[in-house]
Amino acid sequence: MKSLIDRNLTMLTDFYEITMANGYFSHGHKDTIAYFDMFFRQIPDSGGFAVMAGVEQLVDYLANLKFSEEDIDYLRTKGFGEDFLDYLRNFKFSCDVWAVPEGTPVFPGEPIVKVRGPIIQAQFIETMVLICINHQSLIATKANRIVRAAEGRPVMEFGSRRAQGFDGAVYGARSAYIGGCAGTACTISDELFGVPALGTMAHSWVQMFDSEYDAFCAYAKRYPDSCTVLIDTYNVLKSGVPNAIRAFNDVLVPMGKRPKGVRIDSGDITYLSKKVRKMLDEAGFEDCGIVASNSLDEYIIRDMLIQGAKVSSFGVGERLITSSSSPVFGGVYKLCAVEKDGQIVPKIKLSENVAKITTPGSKKVYRLFDRESGKAMADLITLDTETVDDSKPYELFDPNFTWKRKVIENYEAKELLEPLFIKGECVFNRKPVKEIQDYCKAQIDTLWDEVLRFENPHTYYVDLSQELWDIKDSLLKSRK
């Protein structure tokens, strides 16, 4: 697959990763095996779930991780010694990495990426793990909210020009498609990933011609099979729709073609769409769609449809590509264990802020499904050494209120973390982005409607096994 740009991103890391690496090297810890988890603490927009994305780009980064001579020369200017620089020069990634598949609904507190390997390596990749997963999961989550608000009407991602940098545009389009968008205005995302590129005209097209009618006729002649015209350059109801109807009748109808749609990009779109629909229907173009754009989000779209807007599809730009209402996906990357004398030693981080206390140990994540309904019941984090036998009853308990317990039966337990690298060798199964989108929709369909609410969604439980909780509780008490 063609790369976005030929560049070595090894040095895209926080500088403390390098200072710590040098310290580990100097103190004889370069071969110490460490375990790190990436997880997040809060769902964007206070929603019921987030959507995992960005794994493919993380794999690409890890598969090409190496220090160039230019990198070595630069680090020499920062005062690092030649023995450490020689180590970096001969660096070969050798970690084990697991991740939750892209498109999976994910929840706070559970590991969505897990890394095991030499401490220098496992620590060094922190920044890019977070960049890849945080950004794309944020946009995929926002896109899915907007798509659900549209109630089956196609949503197109139109945000390239408002994205925060070209990577934000390209990978934002990819993650928006995973979240459910029908396509993107970003052409290169189609070329790179197969995200369908969509688009028609801008206001400048209309302005370039002597009249709005001439502009519509020229476009209809050039694109008779996909003719969608922009009708708000001057006046939607007085000129835009009448000129569109006239052009459709004069150009498309004699060719035996039908118009694809009209787009409204300003004004009170709910009101205008009702009027436009009536005018198009009376002219015999009942099959002509109405596309709405202009600073939309899930709340505006929901209200438009409640108020009876006659919109058949939406183009959503800046509020999607930047997730402007909740622009941070707060994923973190924390040490959870080290190996010593062949044993895994759990590690915990404490905080006065209870939400920042980590869960120790090398872990698995299970999703528990009700066999009758197929719905997800809860997620369960266990130690790596545990196996959930779903042929037997299992007692779940709330890790925040441990007296709240429930025995479940007739359930299916599925592990969520899948291997990406084993001893540094890539075992990742790359999938077409359309397949990831279909998987995402299917997995979200396993969530109860109460979890899908935009406001005050039901809290989906992420529980700990008793054995894992006992270790965490023991470490908490020992650090008092």
Domain boundaries, the chain: 15-139+327-478, 146-321
* Amino acid 480: pLDDT: 62
Q: Where are the beta strands (DSSP E) in 143-295?
A: 155-157, 183-184, 228-230, 261-264, 289-292
Q: Where are the beta strands (DSSP E) in 297-454?
A: 313-316, 331-340, 343-346, 363-370, 376-383, 394-397, 405-408, 411-415, 418-422, 425-426
Total-model pTM: 0.96
* Amino acid 6: pLDDT: 60
As a whole number of angstroms, the distance between CA 327 and CA 408 comes to 37
pLDDT tens string 399-452:
989 999 999 999 999 999 999 999 999 999 999 999 999 999 999 999 999 999
- Pair 41, 109: CB distance under 8 Å: yes
As a whole number of angstroms, the distance between CA 230 and CA 371 comes to 49
* Amino acid 22: pLDDT: 97
**Which is the CATH superfamily of the domain at 146-321?**
Aldolase class I (3.20.20.70)
* Amino acid 2: pLDDT: 47
- Residue 173's nearest CA partner among 140, 125, 206 is 140
Q: Is domain 15-139+327-478 annotated with CATH 3.40.140.10?
A: no
- Provide the angle, in degrees to the nearest 10, between the axes of the packed helices 82-89 and 15-26: 110
Residues in the chain with pLDDT values less than 50:
1-2
pLDDT tens string 181-211:
999 999 999 999 999 999 999 999 999 999 9
As a whole number of angstroms, the distance between CA 54 and CA 417 comes to 15
Q: Reduced to 3 DSSP states, what percent helix, strand and coil does the chain have, rounded to the nearest 5? A: 40, 20, 40
Amino acid of residue 163: A
pLDDT tens string 285-337:
999 999 999 999 999 999 999 999 999 999 999 999 999 999 999 999 999 99
Query: At which residue do the structure tokens 């929840």 appear?
Result: 107
The C-alpha torsion from 117 through 123 and 124 to 126, rounded to 10°, is: 110
CB 75: neighbour CB atoms within 10 A?
18
Please, what is the Cα angle at 271 between 267 and 272, to 5 degrees? 60
